[in-house]
Amino acid sequence: MRQPELRPLAQPELPQPGILGRALGALFFVVALGISGFGLYNAAHAAGVAGTHGTLAVEQCWVKHGSHGSRGTKVCGGTFRSDDGKTVDDEASVRSEVKPGSRVSVQRAGDGYVRVGFGETARWVALFFLGWLVVAFGMSFAATGMFPRSGMQVALITRAVSGTRVGTVRKWIVRGGLAGAGVCLLLTLLAWLLS
């Protein structure tokens, strides 16, 4: 019996470098700055380094629904009193699941409130490290200028920088981001288990 002739599969081609690829890389950088900045901002408040410290006397809890299809976020509200007694907010709320009638240590962060504690701080620092992973993902596009049109092209562009200086830096950013986020999430879990 004669075997059919095998032909190699068509290999997807790398896209041509251009401004769109660099813009995509820059977009990932801006998003990463936003994620990391938001994480550090809230981590500073959760650690008590920034903001006004006080206690939130929880009166009621509810579920705040976001966009369609989202589960919603548990929010508890009540009266905030700063430690120095200068600030009282009867409409304070914090994204957290606590029992009505309890008192929660919080830090005022702009218009909102953040729970204070080691576990909360570690959780927000994990978000900072997530920003590192976003930067690492966009580095290949910024360095090559290639704009991917498919998932296969994303993999090819990433492979194209793997042996270069950009690839080495990218690898260390990914390792640092994964290690940092992993340690922070582990510390968050330990703090939750010990509380």
Report residue 89 as tokens.
């907010």
**Residue 134: pLDDT band by 50, 70, 90 thresholds?**
very high
**Residue 96: pLDDT band by 50, 70, 90 thresholds?**
confident
Q: Give the closest residue to 63 by CA, choosing from 77, 52, 51, 44.
A: 77
**Single-letter residue type at 131:** G
**Residues paired with 78 in a beta bridge:** 58, 92
Tell me the three state secondary structure of residue 24.
Answer: helix
The answer to whether residues 83 and 77 touch, using CB atoms and an 8 Å cutoff, is: no
- pLDDT tens per residue, range 143-170: 999 999 888 889 999 998 998 999 999 9
**Residue 1: pLDDT band by 50, 70, 90 thresholds?**
low
Domain locations along the chain: 16-47+117-195, 51-116
Q: Give the closest residue to 174 by CA, choosing from 140, 124, 123.
A: 140
Residue 28 clears pLDDT 80, i.e. is over it: yes
- pLDDT tens per residue, range 55-81: 999 999 888 876 666 677 888 899 999
The answer to whether residues 174 and 158 touch, using CB atoms and an 8 Å cutoff, is: no
CA distances from 124 to 38, 52, 121 (A): 8, 18, 5
Q: What is the mean pLDDT of the chain?
A: 89
pTM: 0.79
CATH number of 51-116: 2.40.50
The answer to whether residues 118 and 46 touch, using CB atoms and an 8 Å cutoff, is: no
Residue 2 clears pLDDT 80, i.e. is over it: no
